[in-house]
Amino acid sequence: MAMIIYNCLKEERKILNSAQASNEMEVGSVQNTVIGMLDKQKELDAKVKAIKSSVTDVEQDIKTLEDMQDEYDFKCKTLQNREHESSNMSQEEYKKEQLSLQQMFLSLDLKRKEVVNKIVQLLHSAEHTQTALINDELVEWKHRQQTACIGGPPNACLDQLQNWFTTVAESLQQVRQQLKKLEELEQKFTYDPDPITKNKQFLQDLTHTLFKQLIQSSFVVERQPCMPTHPQRPLVLKTGVQFTVKLRLLVKLQELNYNLKVKVLFDKDVTEKNSVKGFRKFNILGTNTKVMNMEESTNGSLAAEFRHLQLKEQKNAGSRTNEGPLIVTEELHSLSFETQLCQPGLVIDLETTSLPIVVISNVSQLPSGWASILWFNMLSTDPKNLSFFLNPPCAKWSKLSEVLSWQFSSVTKRGLNADQLSMLGEKLLGPTNGGSQDGLIPWTRFCKENINDKNFPFWLWIEGILELIKKHLLCLWNDGCIMGFISKERERALLKDQSPGTFLLRFSESSREGAITFTWVEGSQNELQFHSVEPYTKKELSAVTFPDIIRNYKVMAAENIPENPLRFLYPNIPKDNAFGKYYSRPKEAPEPMDLDGPKGNGYIKTELISVSEVHPSRLQSPENLLPMSPEEFDEVSRMVDPADIDTVMCTHIQL
């Protein structure tokens, strides 16, 4: 007993130390990432505010310039009038006025050069900041969106990015107006070399280019295509089923509200339609146009949401054509969105595309379709690479293991730990390479080839387990009661040093639809026995909850009283402590039957319990029988005649 306690404490200390070290590393990594992001945000904030401040400064300088030009013009006309009206102006006075005008002209010229140079610097600063927004921040957001689509961390809100885009766009719009004002001043008064005349075309072109680039980049798919019936499986669309998609313009200008009409198109300019044999074609049903506005979004963003779109396959006459190199769930398609911004002197075409989508015709294709979405978004950042599965790249285990964990954490409160991932790595890479983070897994190994000696691929096995957890085991998984992915060898290694009756829960490796079993240890240290019950599938778990199965499970052999061999959830948690809160509560006693009514109308209450029948030799010897709790004795009393119990007890006493 002392050795058992010692081993339990030793194992517990190892687990705690490992968890603490892992948490410290994770916390440190997260803190560094957050600090880096905050520093980057502060830097961008400062740059965007500097642009806005520069625009205000230029605005003030142009007003000053206008005042200076008006004063110069007034002085020039006054001097001309005095020349014509009176000939008694002395030569000395005339020269003095001319000198004053010349000084004013030089100041005016200097101010024009200053304003032009400030606008040049402002535009270069805007260009630099805009490049960071488009090539860094927006690209990172799109990558985070890809990650979020396949179960990764939720994507950061677009509002901060919208604020930056909008501020820069407003600044460029003000610069456009400022350039028009400079052009008006030039038309009133110009000279050679006039800095406005010399630079205005360059400044107008650069402002137009920057504004166009910013507007075009700000047109994004905020929420990727998704069927409302499967919110955690975006980008897989079924023909005839409605799906939604949301567009957003990150430049939120009031003058654009209700002025941008978006049209959705399917597989626009997709070369695979002609180059890939059997590539299917689809029509979009439903309202395929929508006007962007600020009223429909809860956060007031300029957006358009399509809620009632459907796809219908174009059927070709004659024989089927989908006999090409790609199966249905490997065939990638895309949705394109177009609109046009029209302002006085400005017409800009806007277009964006969704991430690649998989179109299925039967819900049974959903798991394989989702596998394709996982593989693409894990390994590619080019949404136009629709030929991806003609030659799909391998995935590193370090990346695939993270994505697999996301599949669990996105639908439950727990991802996969290192031990669980290690077991899955061995399944995909083999026992010798299972722990290699650089191990490469081909697409066919993940989703198409039968795994080991089973008649189903790895991913469909995982998908079956996910469904089982979501529908029948969610609370137990969230509480950490289910070890889940563990090899039989590792299972025995963990149980061999534990008290008799210690058990753990793992997923069956032989069931495609997902199944769970438990294994317990019994016997002495010199003669250990490990027993695993036949796995429970959704069929059994739909009838009886798994905690109730564990609570009422019995092992029975001929001439022996049924007993529950399960005492401690690994490593040493009393069974009722682990599962008690999930046991079914006893139902209220039924109303007494009407004694005056016809006899035989009432039913005898029944209860489903799991019983394993084994050969007596597999049970423990009578002196080592596990003691029954009062609750278990009551259950046995209901199942076995009291006289039989007495007979067995007398026999046991005589022995």
pLDDT digits (tens, 9 = 90+) for 516-531: 999 999 887 778 889 9
Residue 621's pLDDT band, with cuts at 50, 70 and 90, is: very low
Q: Report the half-sphere exposure of 162 (CA within 13 A, side-chain side).
A: 18
Peptide bond into 571 cis (omega under 30): yes
Average pLDDT, integer, range 589-593: 50
Per-residue model confidence (pLDDT) at position 30: 47
Please state, in angstroms and rounded to a whole number, the distance separating the CA atoms of residues 638 and 655: 26
Maximum average pLDDT range among 185-194, 216-225, 563-572: 216-225
Residue 535 is given by DSSP the state: P
Q: Is the pLDDT of residue 46 over 60?
A: yes
Largest CA distance in the chain: 151
Q: Is the pLDDT of residue 181 over 60?
A: yes
Q: Which of 33-37, 76-80, 387-391, 613-617 has the lowest mean pLDDT?
A: 613-617
Average pLDDT, integer, range 202-228: 96
Please give the mean pLDDT across all residues of the chain: 85
Residue 654's pLDDT band, with cuts at 50, 70 and 90, is: very low
Those residues with Cβ within 8 angstroms of residue 149's Cβ, 6 or more apart along the chain or in another chain: 224, 234, 235, 355, 373, 377
Per-residue model confidence (pLDDT) at position 274: 80
Measured from the Cβ of residue 371, the count of other Cβ atoms closer than 10 Å reads 24
Residue 625's pLDDT band, with cuts at 50, 70 and 90, is: very low
Residue 161's pLDDT band, with cuts at 50, 70 and 90, is: very high
Strands 611-613 vs 554-556: parallel, antiparallel or unpaired: parallel
46 burial (CB, 10 Å; 0-12 / 13-18 / 19+) is exposed
Residue 318's pLDDT band, with cuts at 50, 70 and 90, is: low
Q: Which amino acid is at 336?
A: S
Residue 378's pLDDT band, with cuts at 50, 70 and 90, is: very high
Q: Which of 17-26, 248-257, 289-298, 561-570 has the lowest mean pLDDT?
A: 17-26
Chain-centre distance of CA 612, in angstroms?
A: 43
Q: Which of 354-358, 467-471, 487-491 has the lowest mean pLDDT?
A: 487-491
Tokens of 553: 């499970």
pTM, full prediction: 0.81
Residue 308's pLDDT band, with cuts at 50, 70 and 90, is: very high
Residue 641 is given by DSSP the state: -
Q: Which of 27-36, 136-145, 352-361, 407-416 has the lowest mean pLDDT?
A: 27-36
Q: Is the pLDDT of residue 597 over 80?
A: no
Residue 87's pLDDT band, with cuts at 50, 70 and 90, is: low
Q: Is the pLDDT of residue 316 over 80?
A: no
Residue recorded with tokens 């394993």? 612
DSSP reduced 3-state for 152: coil
What residues does 343 pair with on adjacent strands? 346
Per-residue model confidence (pLDDT) at position 1: 47
Per-residue model confidence (pLDDT) at position 94: 77
What does the pLDDT look like over 637-651, one tens digit per residue? 555 555 555 544 443
Please state, in angstroms and rounded to a whole number, the distance separating the CA atoms of residues 518 and 534: 8
Q: N- to C-terminal Cα distance for the chain?
A: 27
Question: Is the CB of residue 507 less than 8 Å from the CB of residue 485?
Answer: yes
Q: Is the pLDDT of residue 614 over 70?
A: no
Q: Is the pLDDT of residue 540 over 50?
A: yes
Q: Which of 164-178, 427-441, 605-619 has the lowest mean pLDDT?
A: 605-619
Q: Which of 80-94, 215-229, 385-399, 599-613 has the lowest mean pLDDT?
A: 599-613
Per-residue model confidence (pLDDT) at position 409: 94
Strands 568-569 vs 236-238: parallel, antiparallel or unpaired: unpaired
Per-residue model confidence (pLDDT) at position 452: 75
Per-residue model confidence (pLDDT) at position 289: 95
Q: Is the pLDDT of residue 118 over 80?
A: yes
Residue 606's pLDDT band, with cuts at 50, 70 and 90, is: low
Residue 86's pLDDT band, with cuts at 50, 70 and 90, is: low
What residues does 244 pair with on adjacent strands? 226
